[in-house]
Structure 1
Amino acid sequence: MKVTYSYLLSLLLVLTSATNLAAQTVGKLSVSANRRFIQRDGKPFFWLGDTGWLLFVKLDREAVDNYLEDRHQKGFNVIQVMVVHDLRKAVNVYGDSAFVNNDLSKPLTTPGASFASKQQYDFWDHVDYVVNKAASKGIYLGMVPVWGSNIKGGLANREQAAIYTKFLVNRYKRSGNIIWLNGGDIKGSDSAAVWKTIGTTLKKHDPNHLVTFHPRGRSSSSEWFHNENWLDFDMFQSGHKSYAQDTTDIRIGEDNWRYVRTDFGKLPKKPSIDGEPSYEKIPQGLHDTLAPLWTDADVRRYGYWSVFAGGFGYTYGDNTVMQFRRPGDGPGAYGAKDYWYQAIHDPGSSQVQWLKKLILGKPFFERIPDQSLIANQGEKYNYLAATRGRRYAFVYSYTGRTMKINMGKIAGTRVKTSWYDPRTGKTTPGATVSNSGVKEFGPPGEEKEGNDWVLVLESI
């Protein structure tokens, strides 16, 4: 294929302009001064993540564009994605292998990057395309370098991981929209030396990007790595089991707010987030496809519970979307029946944006969890989650039950009340009351699971 120098120069200018535009769009993320939130260029940043684990290998460029545009329109600003899911078959939709002979320390790259040339456009060029396309839409990629099962299964060692991590850093440290998720559904105690090597390598050679650790279900990065200098914030995976299915000693079950409370109890202070709650339309407990499926109501509950406990954001997930099931893929994992381009319209994906809107609508950095607002606390689904600033407070009920609130926790002698609908983001005006004593508030509708509401209190 004959290509002129002038054509290559023009193409280079176009790509450079696009990359610069992308970098300007996303901004630099950092931990806030009070060590509880993430900020973008010093301004509030509410992490609204989607779980797109197999994005790099399952979608072609057109599908990538469609997926990212859908998520952009719904307010998502982070996509969590694996760079390497299975080292033994690290091949993308175009048939390009990521490595030479499945060796993690030998990424397979070819000269050039033209999509028009099969010889030039390789696995890593496609990753570049996704990174740049996401940045142009203001979306960050939470990239897992190598999924935990590869290391635990002995497919790569510490030395190979170090070489590979340096390759990733050198390739993406100038991309503004990268967040590094070390680990990948694994306990930090499994192959701990490898995870520490990856973490320290990332932070040493790429200090301008945030780093965390994606752990096994029902655990948090804080259990193993909270004091590591490379860990900027804690991430926990509350997981996919119900109260009845959780047989661990601590029996947290669905109470994902407890992980935030535990993380916040450790020093030094670091932000905390639920990086993998139950996915929409995945079986409870994962493996029994006849079990009840988690719903959009559960997705909302996990979001409001963890954020009101102090979480700096929330990651949504959908069973079909996270695996990007396509026609011809065969039976979906965990009983998935739809295709990804159908499942992106599942209701929970449109509803979680209202949590982001609610939080960003009030002074951001002053917000704290405050359960002392609650005078009639309940357990499990009747739990009431409360958070507040100086002149506002939010209280979330998953069942729409009556709330008894200890007043006087925010400024002012009178308080305006309203009800915020997590399904639609719409507000229903309530009464104006004195800011003293214990007040009782009843949400709209009947008391039942999934009739969730947020009581909004605002100082007058």
Structure 2
Amino acid sequence: MPLLYSFSAAFAAFTIAVSAYAQPKWPHGDLQVTPDGHYLQYADGTPFFWLGDTAWELFHRLTKEEIIQYLDNRKAKGFNVIQAVVLAEMDGLRRPNRYGDVPLIDQDPEKPNESYFQLVDEVINAAYDRQLFIGLLPTWGDKVTRMWGVGPEIFTVENAYRYGRWLGDRYKDRKNIIWILGGDRPAIHDAVDTRPIWRAMAKGIQEATEGKALLSYHISGGAHSTSQQIHKEPWLHVNMMQSGHGSGHDVPVWEWITRDRALAPTKPTLDSEPNYEDHPVNPWPTWDPKSGYFNDYDVRKQTYRSVFAGACGVTYGHHSIWQFWSEREEKINHADRYWTEALDRPGAFQVGYLRQLIESRPFIDRIPDQTIVAGGQGEKERHIRAFRDRKKSYLMVYIPQGQPVTINTSILKAGTLRGWWFNPATTETLDLGRVSRTQTLQLTTPTQGFGHDWVLVVDAAARYAIPDFKR
């Protein structure tokens, strides 16, 4: 099998040598959980808001030129975590990558193919150069327990440990890796308990990285979170859920976030796979598009409400991008455009606006607080979520359908308050000026009805100004 070094000169500009990894410097140190257990920060205390993208087949289906195109696009939109799989879902053990390499020799986890992993190295380094984390899945779950997909099941407790140890040793100096085990599978299903295998893989990674690795687990879709099966596993640092694509609109992900935040020990949690933009709405396994496709408004409703419920971040996804559908590939589940045409879909821009909004205020002090909504609270597609900071210097309210609302601003400590509207679809802001500090502040969103979502922000006037958002 050919090595990367035999590739034509056309790709030379995109090769980032391991020796160049130290430039530019990673300024804030390793990623870790905040002292209160709810959010993420760097070692120097700099807060980190997770804005991920699902790029499951990144190593498996793209050329190096295409990978650079993708990373540059995501960096420009504000993404900071790229979730990708080493042993990919789509027959990733037997079907080679774009350079003719499979990841393992004889499908043996203890015989990694150096040519394949040199490409993984270069992608991780290219992401580092762009200040992007790789949410690295060592394997898709069908290689541990098939359930569906093509597998084959290749892992045991013994080789999972050694594979994790080998991967951890290879990437122990890469500060831009978040380790994600699982791969769209429950840890326990029916009579099958795969936790010993995942524990062994996690142990190998942790030993090789001297305990510095940050680990999570990508669970399957439906009303599931890692908190339900493996919350107390000591290797699990961040809970994940997948509100997914199989249960229609307005899955109550905010309730799952609330549940996870209340558990002991306290761990950050996030929705690592909400509804994909341009994915058919109909339930699994048919994915028949007769009921239409999820759009950017659907994406906004789910991402905003999970974050406003107290998640440490959120992951976006596009149905064509996770699979990198192109003329080279067979489409999966009625994808409606090539991945290159999906890069600039509205939802991809708009989740970047969410990150800008959250980061415009001190955000690791966020406390979900539904007492802020004194009137107008709805259910499902109309359900409103609100939070404030611990110092009670600002509050934010996400209103998924424009309508009159009654807000309790008396929880804020500042004597003079300023209110403003934020449009999640455009970043447009509308200044309300000075607002009353009262339990019954009645307001009506600038536009009303389905598709017209807004965020209300109320600040301590002396402390904050309305941000100048970049589109």
Q: TM-score, normalised by structure 2?
A: 0.87
Equivalent in the alignment of 1:118: none
Equivalent in the alignment of 1:269: 266
Q: Is 2:254 the partner of 1:257?
A: yes
Rounded Cα–Cα distance in structure 1 between residues aligned with 2:439 and 2:113: 67
Q: 1:103 aligns with which of 102, 108, 127?
A: 108
Contact 1:413-1:436 at 8 Å conserved across structures: no
Rounded Cα–Cα distance in structure 2 between residues aligned with 1:292 and 1:100: 42
Q: Quote how far apart the aligned CAs of 1:149 are.
A: 1.4
Rounded Cα–Cα distance in structure 1 between residues aligned with 2:218 and 2:201: 13
State the aligned residue count: 428
Q: Quote how far apart the aligned CAs of 1:437 are.
A: 2.5
Q: Quote how far apart the aligned CAs of 1:89 are.
A: 1.8
Equivalent in the alignment of 1:67: 70
Contact 1:87-1:150 at 8 Å conserved across structures: no
Q: Quote how far apart the aligned CAs of 1:226 are.
A: 1.2
208-217 or 405-414, larger mean C-alpha shift: 405-414
Q: Quote how far apart the aligned CAs of 1:205 are.
A: 2.4
Q: Percent identity?
A: 35
Deviations 1:294-352 (A, max 9, x none): 1101111111101110011110000000101121213x111113111111111100111
200-209 or 51-60, larger mean C-alpha shift: 200-209
Contact 1:395-1:455 at 8 Å conserved across structures: yes
Letter in 1 for 2:326: R
145-154 or 66-75, larger mean C-alpha shift: 145-154
Deviations 1:201-255 (A, max 9, x none): 22232221210111111211111111111111111111113358xxxxxxxx611
Give matches, 1:351-430, under 5 Å. Answer: 351-376=350-375, 377-389=377-389, 390-430=392-432
Contact 2:268-2:312 at 8 Å conserved across structures: yes
Structure 2 gaps of 5+ residues are 6-12, 147-152, 462-471
Letter in 2 for 1:259: W
Contact 1:165-1:201 at 8 Å conserved across structures: yes
Q: Is 2:225 the partner of 1:220?
A: yes
Rounded Cα–Cα distance in structure 2 between residues aligned with 1:413 and 1:34: 28
Rounded Cα–Cα distance in structure 2 between residues aligned with 1:125 and 1:277: 31
Contact 2:397-2:456 at 8 Å conserved across structures: yes
Contact 1:84-1:90 at 8 Å conserved across structures: no
Rounded Cα–Cα distance in structure 2 between residues aligned with 1:425 and 1:89: 45
SS at match of 2:87: coil
Rounded Cα–Cα distance in structure 2 between residues aligned with 1:137 and 1:127: 16
Compared with structure 1, are the counterparts of its residues 221 and 243 closer, same or farther at alpha carbon in structure 2 (3 Å cutoff)?
A: same
Q: Is 2:24 the partner of 1:52?
A: no
Deviations 1:95-119 (A, max 9, x none): 112111112221122xxxxxxxxxx
Equivalent in the alignment of 1:201: 204
Equivalent in the alignment of 2:289: 289
Rounded Cα–Cα distance in structure 2 between residues aligned with 1:290 and 1:273: 30
Rounded Cα–Cα distance in structure 2 between residues aligned with 1:18 and 1:311: 35
Rounded Cα–Cα distance in structure 2 between residues aligned with 1:318 and 1:127: 22
Equivalent in the alignment of 1:211: 215
Equivalent in the alignment of 1:250: none
Rounded Cα–Cα distance in structure 1 between residues aligned with 2:145 and 2:34: 34
Equivalent in the alignment of 1:322: 322
Letter in 1 for 2:406: K
129-138 or 148-157, larger mean C-alpha shift: 148-157
Rounded Cα–Cα distance in structure 2 between residues aligned with 1:23 and 1:165: 26
Structure 1 gaps of 5+ residues are 4-10, 110-121, 245-252
201-210 or 296-305, larger mean C-alpha shift: 201-210
Contact 1:413-1:434 at 8 Å conserved across structures: no
Q: Is 2:85 the partner of 1:82?
A: yes
Contact 1:53-1:80 at 8 Å conserved across structures: yes
Rounded Cα–Cα distance in structure 2 between residues aligned with 1:53 and 1:294: 19
Q: Quote how far apart the aligned CAs of 1:353 are.
A: 0.7
Q: Quote how far apart the aligned CAs of 1:26 are.
A: 7.2
401-410 or 47-56, larger mean C-alpha shift: 401-410
Letter in 1 for 2:280: P
Equivalent in the alignment of 2:46: 43
Rounded Cα–Cα distance in structure 1 between residues aligned with 2:225 and 2:297: 24
Rounded Cα–Cα distance in structure 1 between residues aligned with 2:339 and 2:96: 19
Letter in 1 for 2:154: L
Compared with structure 1, are the counterparts of its residues 270 and 416 closer, same or farther at alpha carbon in structure 2 (3 Å cutoff)?
A: same
65-74 or 148-157, larger mean C-alpha shift: 148-157
Give matches, 1:303-342, under 5 Å. Answer: 303-330=303-330, 332-342=331-341
Deviations 1:68-108 (A, max 9, x none): 00000000000001111245425211111211111222112
SS at match of 1:403: strand
Rounded Cα–Cα distance in structure 2 between residues aligned with 1:87 and 1:433: 57
Contact 2:275-2:294 at 8 Å conserved across structures: yes
Compared with structure 1, are the counterparts of its residues 90 and 231 closer, same or farther at alpha carbon in structure 2 (3 Å cutoff)?
A: farther
Q: Quote how far apart the aligned CAs of 1:442 are.
A: 0.7
Equivalent in the alignment of 2:137: 144
Deviations 1:42-75 (A, max 9, x none): 1011111010000001111111111000000000
Equivalent in the alignment of 2:33: 31
SS at match of 2:188: coil
